[in-house]
Chains A and B, each alone.
Chain A
Amino acid sequence: MANTYRVLDKVHLQDEEEFVDILEDKRHCSDLRFALRTFSPPPYKGAPACSSAELNQAVLESQYLRYVINEVAMGTGSSVEEVRDEACGIMREMSQNLQLRFIRLLGFVVRKVFKRIFSAIYVNMEGLQALQQATQECPVILMPNHRSYIDFLVVSYILFNYDIPMPVIASGISLAGMKIVGEMLRRSGAFFIRRAIGSDKLYWAVLSEYVRTIVRKGFAPLEFFVEGLRSRTLKSLPPKLGMMNMILEPFFKGEVYDVTLLPISISYDRVLEESLLAHELLGFPKPRESTAGLLKASRVLQENYGCMHVNFGRPLSVRQLCEGKINRCQYNLTPRDLPQKPNAEAQACGSWLAHMIVRLQEEGALTSPWSLMACVLLQVPTAALTEEGLLFHQLTERTLWLRKLALDFRAHLNWPEKVPDSDVMSSTVALHRSVVCRKAGRVYLTRNDELEQKHSMEEDMMRTAAALLMLASYRNQCLHVFVRPALLALAMSVTKSTRKDELLTCFCFLQEVFSNEFVFIPGQSAQDFEEACSLLHKCKAVHVGQWEVTDSDTEPEVLSFLQELLKPFIESYQVPFIICVAN
């Protein structure tokens, strides 16, 4: 556990780090020149480079896959050749075909688009330097959070820009189905994984051997989204562990000296898919990924999406993190090539690491003024927002209050310095005119298009709901900053107790209840509780004694704000619960 804190501390140190706008840096240079730049990443020391054909061959010829193929053939009664062909088919469907030419092409297009829709892309250079160093030493796993389709484009674009080996990227199979684009992605290093693999033994075998071989060979960073899919609510998702276990296995079995995990936090001022997400949440079916759809979506290019921050976390050594957590000798007595389910110890280790990465992604994320504003707006009654509006200066005041609280809670803000707060507020509102609008000193929820059309009640409601959901999503972006103190505040109001042990019990219970809502590192409730205490103490909301936590009178607002923040979650859990009980 001490390890976690060491790691987390390091992230805090990044406060001082400087972010550089990579668009500004290169805006004057032509896109074509950029795309044709010499790309010369420093080579990996562990092994020579490996083409995608060699990689595929290594996978297909692996002892492991041969074993599984035989087993499947025996099980199903088909011939070994048939199963082998099937495995080859899976490989064809899955494998990446990384080619520098296509990276260049993609670089050209992506750059054009980015320059148009983003005012800036900020990247922390120190993180990039550390990453470049790490790619030479041992296999690197890039683990960005996943909020937008363009996440991986951004990462690849940055790496290309700074001479870091291009990653191979685990992506959903749906992208492969897109005409031309699928193939382009494949050649830019994407490999495709089916959803809902279930118990398809052969598929699992091919996939896991493919991933393990990439890690073993270490020639390129492997990028994957530990959350498994795009977060529709912009909240961190509980990590998926399958991929994580595949990545750790080569280290556990001694096939590589170490594996470097690199959390990346991508924070958008405004997410490209915001309304799409809200509509999906409202039950509209997600449009199928298709090239035609992509072209249709090109209208997103007309808008401004503000800034984006990409924060490359510190490289984490799996070896160091797992010290004392895993007994690597357990693999001594069976051939390492044989299929072997990770045991409880290895699984626990994988789960712990995955959760920690998510936590680090959260810690590395930058909280935007808009996200804080969303928190404030959502605590105003909806009717007020739609009808009479909220006084702009009230909104400003509350948001600034929240900014202070967030800073107390050690959040990283991307609040522009040297700009008057009022300007920040107005430009933020302007950027998000799809959600709110400002008229005559008041802020309203955006409901209508500019055209004064008559809408049915139902349509109106849908619009309000969509706007509210967008607000909620942006609030979710900063929930991780408040969630621990908020749970403690909640525990205090639920138990009406001041005794630490009772509060801790309740705190743990709440963590358990909301374990699908918020990401907590398993087995670390006590630390989380302590953290919550110290944060609330820091902002003077409570007094913390050795055995007791009591509220102080100096900052009564804090506790009520935090309790209010969690209210929607509690209510949404209460409703089904009441129904279940009633039935």
Chain B
Amino acid sequence: MASNSSGDESSRHQTARHRLSVIAGHLQRPTDRNAALLAVDCKAQGSKPNVNTSDRGEGRTVPRRRQEIMKWNGWGYSDSRFLFNKKGQAEFTGNRYRLSGMIIPGLKDWMEGTFGANLQHKTQATPVLNTSAVQPPTLNEAFVEELKSTGIPFSHEGEDRVFRAHGHCLHEIFALREGKIGRVPDMVVWPNCHNDVVKIVELACKHNVCLIPYGGGTSVSSALECPPEETRSIVSLDTSQMNRILWIDEKNLTAHVESGIVGQDLERLLNESGYCTGHEPDSMEFSSLGGWVATRASGMKKNIYGNIEDLVVHIKMVTPRGVIEKSCQGPRMSTGPDIHHFILGSEGTLGVVTEVTIKIRPMPEYQKYGSVVFPNFEQGVACLREVARQRCAPASIRLMDNEQFKFGHALKPQVSSIFTSFLDGLKKFYITKFKGFDPNRLCVATLLFEGPREKVLQHEKQVYDIAAKFGGLAAGEDNGQRGYMLTFVIAYLRDLGMDYYVIGESFETSVPWDRVLDICRNVKARIIRECKDKGVQFPPLSTCRVTQTYDAGACVYFYFAFNYRGLSDPVHVYEQVEHAAREEILANGGSLSHHHGVGKLRKEWMRETVSNVGVGMLKSVKDYVDPNNIFGNRNLL
């Protein structure tokens, strides 16, 4: 039900803001390229619009024309990037992040030391998208005609199409930087609501058009790549404009939200009402609710809030067979296999998720970061294991290995006062000299506690006590907070690396506790070995961190990057090494993916992962739901 009760001051305040924003929205209404068509307002059709947070355009991050604020060939906002200034110091531009506008003195040395990179050796990316390189769209005229009559906005402009033809795999971005553009969707549509999607899917079925759902575009599994063998017209169904919270149910603590909303908007809007979902994947700035559902996403704070499968209460998905949804919102059901699990992780192969009812929680009263330094990675893992055994994991607990610790160190912004730098020096002295930690072995865990203040403090003590048993030393809030900030800027750093012949990527797995150390060691060693064998001239960066703890295992994240000077086909080398690393993961008892999904990148291992029968089951679902392969992105199977 609607959440606001009139008379309440804050709600009056909100109503006022709402009005203002409506007006602003009218003023700013984007000049639509297909302006001949009038967007049909879905709001009237939406179920019980919430007065609170409903209007489109207000405070939403993602415009229809993504190019207005985002890079076409790199990560994130156009205004935010790392660069080396004239003095050769690294700095982060823009003003969106804590690091924005700051000088990062250690980065240059780290890059030179770690990769053998050199500021003199620069590779320039193609600055602007050359739309003439984009192949002309293959349009299905009948489909386009009928679509026009529905009034749903669409475009077949080159820029719009290129933006929706890729995720953020290394090979995708690398090709864009070189100005190479492969098969792209022939057309982009922007449904405004569930019913729009129903219409689009009906038309697609009628005219045999291939639909590829597009949410935030943060895929790292080649899931958004257009299958080259696809001969039909490919239509990218961009859900970004379906971004409203339709209602908030404060009695049951749920919110009903359109699937296109991106994480930061969802969180911010809920925050305005005093709630949150607590679902914070590293990509939350840009990834969408529908995308989370379609890939079985995991959030940093899952220890408190759960992963996406724990968070959803109800899902509505439009398939070629019709709409699939449950009839009620019971918190758990014994009604055969859970149909949500056909949808969760379906990666856009069965239909489009349009609306999701998601659990919400009151915003936490108190948040506290923290960090612990361990003498070595083994001790750190042992500590995390113990924390998991005692089931007292904080909202987030992550353990970085030594290389990543050094990396984090290199990203320390310039300190303003002599006093701080003196203090840092003192800390370093205490840890390495007084406590005898080897700076080339020590590693650090970052922590985030959430909850009522008292409980947080109590919880904090419990965790630090466990850490102490494994030789861990508390290392301050600052280190912790910086660790988490890094997750948001690390993707920007890849772009900087690519400016200087360094390419890299991250990939993840989940693994039983007893294998965590083995898998970390073996995969890292395998990466180094493969790089050497494939002729990489410089030692690669091969590092990992344990990012999630479960009762029976952990999620491990690997980062891998190398300087590719001297290689004729760096992307191919990169792919071979990543392939080998994945083989190593599987041979060491790791899973194919913990939360990135399978897409097309990891398809080849699906059969051995889920068995023949498993693949058969998934196939038969696909065959029933989508016999003509309308959702033809060819992910997963």
CA separation between A313 and B382, bound complex, in Å? Answer: 39
Mark out the residues of chain A between 286 and 342 whose CB falls within 8 Å of any chain B CB in the assembled complex.
327-329, 331-332, 335-337
Question: From residue 394 to 425 of chain A, which have CB atoms closer than 8 A to chain B?
Answer: none
Q: Is there a chain B Cβ closer than 8 Å to A514's Cβ?
A: no
**A328 and B587 contact, Cβ closer than 8 Å, known pairs A257-B521, A257-B522, A257-B525:** yes
CA distance A258 to B608 in the complex (A): 24
- Which residue of A255, A329, A336 is within 8 Å of B587 (Cβ)? A329
Q: Which of A217-260 contact B (CB under 8 A)?
A: 254-255, 257-258
520-571 of chain B: CB within 8 A of chain A: 521-522, 525-526
- Report B483 CB to chain A, min CB distance, Å: 27
Which of B515, B519, B526, B608 counts the most A-chain CB atoms under 10 A from its CB?
A: B515
Interchain CA distance A332-B514 in the complex, whole Å? 11
Q: Does B518 contact A (CB under 8 A)?
A: yes
Chain A residue contacts of B514, Cβ below 8 A: 335-337
Chain B 558-617 interface residues, beta-carbon cutoff 8 Å to A: 586-589, 608
CB distance from B375 to the nearest CB of A (A): 11
Residues of A within 8 A of B586 (CB): 329
Q: Report B492-516 residues with CB < 8 Å from chain A CB.
A: 514-515
B589 touches A255 (CB 8 A): no
Assembled-state Cα–Cα distance A336/B525 (Å): 21
Q: How far is the CA of A336 from the CA of B587 in the complex (A)?
A: 13
Chain A: number of interface residues, binned into ranges: 10 to 19
Centre residue among A46, A329, A331 by max chain B CB count within 10 A:
A329
Instruction: Give the distance in Å from the alpha carbon of A114 to the alpha carbon of B422 in the complex.
Output: 62
Instruction: Contact check, B519 vs A254: say whether CB atoms are below 8 A apart.
Output: yes
- Per-position binary interface string of chain A over residues 253-297, scored 1 when its CB falls under 8 Å from any chain B CB and 0 otherwise: 011011000000000000000000000000000000000000000
Q: For chain B residues 466-514, which have a beta carbon within 8 Å of chain A?
A: 514
Main secondary structure of the interface of B (DSSP, over half): helix
Is there an interface contact between B522 and A332, defined as CB atoms closer than 8 Å?
Answer: no
Q: How far is the CA of A321 from the CA of B586 in the complex (A)?
A: 19
- In the bound complex, residues from chain A placing their C-beta under 8 Å from that of B589 are 254, 329, 331-332
Q: Complex: how many Å from CA A335 to CA B514?
A: 9
CB distance from B334 to the nearest CB of A (A): 28
Chain A 190-207 residues near chain B, CB threshold 8 A: none
- Of chain A, the residue at the smallest CB distance from B517 is A255
- Contact, CB under 8 Å: B608 / A254: no
B519: chain A residues within 8 A (beta carbon):
254
Residue of A nearest to B525 (CB): A257
Across the interface, do A257 and B515 meet the contact criterion of CB distance under 8 Å? Answer: no
Closest to A253 in B: B518
Task: Report the nearest B residue to A254, measured CB to CB.
Answer: B588
Min distance, Cβ A62 to any Cβ of chain B, angstroms: 12
Chain B residues in 8 Å Cβ range of A327: 587
With CB as the reference atom, state the residue of chain B lying closest to A138. Answer: B525
Task: Give every chain B residue within 8 A of A328 (Cβ-Cβ).
Answer: 587-588
Number of A-B contacts (CB under 8 A): 27
Are A255 and B518 in touch, CB under 8 angstroms? yes
Q: Which residues of B contact A46 (CB under 8 A)?
A: 521
B593 to chain A, nearest CB (A): 16
Asked if B526 contacts A257 (CB within 8 A), the reply is: yes
Nearest B residue (CB) for A258: B525
Residues of A contacting B515 with CB < 8 Å? 254, 336
Q: 1/0 contact trace for B275-306 toward A, CB 8 Å?
A: 00000000000000000000000000000000
Query: Shortest distance in angstroms between B609's beta carbon and chain A's nearest beta carbon?
Result: 10
Q: Name the residue on A nearest B524 (C-beta).
A: A257
Give chain A residues whose Cβ lies under 8 Å from the Cβ of B526: 257
**Chain A proximity of B58: nearest CB distance (Å):** 50
Which chain A positions have C-beta within 8 A of B525? 257-258
A335: nearest chain-B partner, CB-CB: B514
In this complex, what residue of B is CB-closest to A48? B376
**How far, in angstroms, from A335 to B588 measured CA to CA in the complex?**
12
CB atoms of A329 and B608 under 8 A apart: yes
A337→B515 CA distance, assembly (Å): 11
CB neighbours of B522 from chain A (8 A): 254, 257
Smallest beta-carbon distance B515→chain A, Å: 7
A64: shortest Cβ distance to chain B, in Å? 12
The interface residues of chain B lying within 8 Å CB-to-CB of A331 are: 589
Expressed in whole angstroms, the Cα–Cα distance for A199 and B587 within the complex equals 32
Bound: A329/B518 CA distance, A = 14
Q: How far is the CA of A46 from the CA of B525 in the complex (A)?
A: 11
Chain A residues near B518 (CB-CB < 8 A): 254-255
State in angstroms the CA–CA spacing of A332 and B591 once bound together: 10
A46 to B518, CA, bound (A): 11
For residues 32 through 54 of chain A, which have their beta carbon under 8 Å from a beta carbon of chain B?
46
What distance in Å separates the Cβ of B453 from its nearest Cβ neighbour in chain A? Answer: 41
Q: With the chains together, A46 CA to B521 CA distance in Å?
A: 9
Question: Considering only CB atoms, which chain A residue lies closest to B378 in the complex?
Answer: A47
Nearest-Cβ distance from residue A334 to partner chain B, whole angstroms: 10
A329 vs B514: C-alpha distance when bound (angstroms): 15
Task: Give CA–CA (A328, B515) in the complex, Å.
Answer: 13
CA distance A337 to B526 in the complex (A): 24
In the complex, how many angstroms separate the beta carbon of B618 from the nearest chain A beta carbon? 20
Bound Cα distance A331, B525 (Å): 20
Residues in chain B near residue A255, CB distance under 8 A: 518
Q: In whole angstroms, what is the CA distance A363 to B513 when docked?
A: 44
Q: How far is the CA of A329 from the CA of B586 in the complex (A)?
A: 7
Residues of B within 8 A of A329 (CB): 586-587, 589, 608
For the complex formed, measure the closest distance between the CB of B379 and the CB atoms of chain A, giving whole angstroms: 12
Look across to chain A and name the residue whose beta carbon is closest to the beta carbon of B586. A329
- Bitwise, A143-182 to B at CB < 8 A (1) or not (0) is 0000000000000000000000000000000000000000
- CA gap between A336 and B522 in the complex, in Å: 16
Query: In whole angstroms, what is the CA distance A335 to B553 when docked?
Result: 13
CA distance A255 to B525 in the complex (A): 13
In whole Å, how far is B576's beta carbon from the nearest beta carbon of chain A?
15
A331 to B514, CA, bound (A): 13
In the assembled complex, the Cα of A335 lies from the Cα of B513 at a distance in Å of 11
Q: For the complex, give the distance between the alpha carbons of A255 and B526 in Å.
A: 14
Nearest Cβ on chain B to A330's Cβ, whole angstroms: 10
Expressed in whole angstroms, the Cα–Cα distance for A327 and B589 within the complex equals 11
Q: Which residues of B contact A257 (CB under 8 A)?
A: 521-522, 525-526
Please report the C-alpha to C-alpha distance between residue A128 and residue B359 in the assembled complex, in whole angstroms.
65
Complex: how many Å from CA A328 to CA B585? 10
A408 to chain B, nearest CB (A): 36
Closest to A336 in B: B514
Q: In the complex, A336 Cα to B515 Cα: how many Å? A: 9
| Chain B CB within 10 A, most for which of A257, A258, A329, A331 | A257
Smallest Cβ-Cβ distance to A317: which chain B residue: B529
A556 nearest CB across to chain B (Å): 49
- The distance in angstroms between the C-alpha atoms of A254 and B522, with both chains bound, is 7
Distance between B8 CB and nearest chain A CB, rounded to angstroms: 56
In the docked arrangement, what's the CA distance between A328 and B587, Å?
5
Q: How far is the CA of A335 from the CA of B518 in the complex (A)?
A: 14
Shortest CB-to-CB span from B591 to chain A, Å, is 10
Greatest chain A CB density within 10 A among B515, B519, B586, B587 is at: B587
Q: How far is the CA of A137 from the CA of B285 in the complex (A)?
A: 42
Min CB distance, B94 to chain A, in Å? 42
Question: What B residues does A336 contact at CB under 8 A?
Answer: 514-515
A319–chain B nearest beta-carbon distance, Å = 9
Closest beta carbon of chain B to A349's beta carbon, Å: 14
CA A332 – CA B586 in complex, angstroms? 9
Besides A257-B521, A329-B589, 17 more A-B contacts (Cβ < 8 Å) are A254-B515, A254-B518, A254-B522, A254-B588, A255-B518, A257-B522, A257-B526, A258-B525, A327-B587, A328-B587, A329-B586, A329-B608, A332-B589, A335-B514, A336-B514, A336-B515, A337-B514
Residues of B whose CB lies within 8 Å of any CB of A are 514-515, 518-519, 521-522, 525-526, 586-589, 608
A-B contact pairs, 16 of them (CB 8 A): A46-B521, A254-B522, A255-B518, A257-B521, A257-B525, A258-B525, A328-B587, A329-B586, A329-B587, A329-B589, A329-B608, A332-B589, A335-B514, A336-B514, A336-B515, A337-B514
Please list the 8 inter-chain residue pairs (A to B) with the smallest Cβ-Cβ separation, ordered nearest first.
Answer: A328-B587, A254-B588, A332-B589, A257-B525, A254-B518, A257-B522, A255-B518, A254-B522
